[in-house]
Amino acid sequence: MKLSNKTQVLQDLIAPAVNACDVDLWGIEFIPQGKRSLLRIYIDREVDEAAEPVINEDGEVELGRGIGVQDCVRVTQQVGAILDVHDPISGEYALEVSSPGWDRPFFQLAQLQKYIGHTVALRLIAAVENRRKFQAKLVAVDVENELIQVEVEKQQVLEIDSNNIDKANLIFQDNV
């Protein structure tokens, strides 16, 4: 779950602009694609279950949680201005801003802690138990030692070094 140097530079540059929009920077993906690269920014906001519904300036009802279209628009404008001034990406690029969604990607080990007991999809850099891709129940997260534990088939628990995780996503499960 280590960021590339380019991604880290971009994250450090845009984080203050995102925070100024009263949302949290969940993570970013920078995908070079030949002539036109992609910079995808994920924003989130802590859920406030007790918040009263309000109507924002665009007539949308906000329930005190989640990310709305206007949040994405504000972040796009703020980050776009920062990128125009600093020009950290050579060539053309597309800028996307969205919430992490139901199948949220994880960018930092600490983000996984709220999802212990949930199913995650993992893609590893080096195979563990002869597998690089699998879905498993998240059992434990040890931020200090940079390890996670997941339960795979037959209740087997695997310990995985966070530096071996290429990609991790939540698997949405509808409990209805």
Domains of the chain plus CATH, in order, are 5-98 (3.30.300.70), 109-170 (2.30.30.100)
| Helix (H) or strand (E) segment spanning residue 19 | helix 5-20
pLDDT digits (tens, 9 = 90+) for 23-57: 999 999 999 988 899 999 999 998 766 767 667 66
Comparing CA positions, the residue from 105, 115, 20 lying closest to residue 71 is 20
pLDDT band per the 50, 70, 90 thresholds, residue 61: low
pLDDT digits (tens, 9 = 90+) for 62-113: 666 678 899 999 999 999 999 999 999 988 999 999 999 999 999 999 999 9
C-alpha pair distances (Å), 131 with each of 62, 69, 122, 128, 160:
43, 39, 10, 5, 12
Give the torsion through C-alpha atoms of 69, 70, 75, 77, to 10 deg.
110
pTM of the model: 0.85
Distance CA 92, CA 36 (A): 5
pLDDT at 1 over 90: no
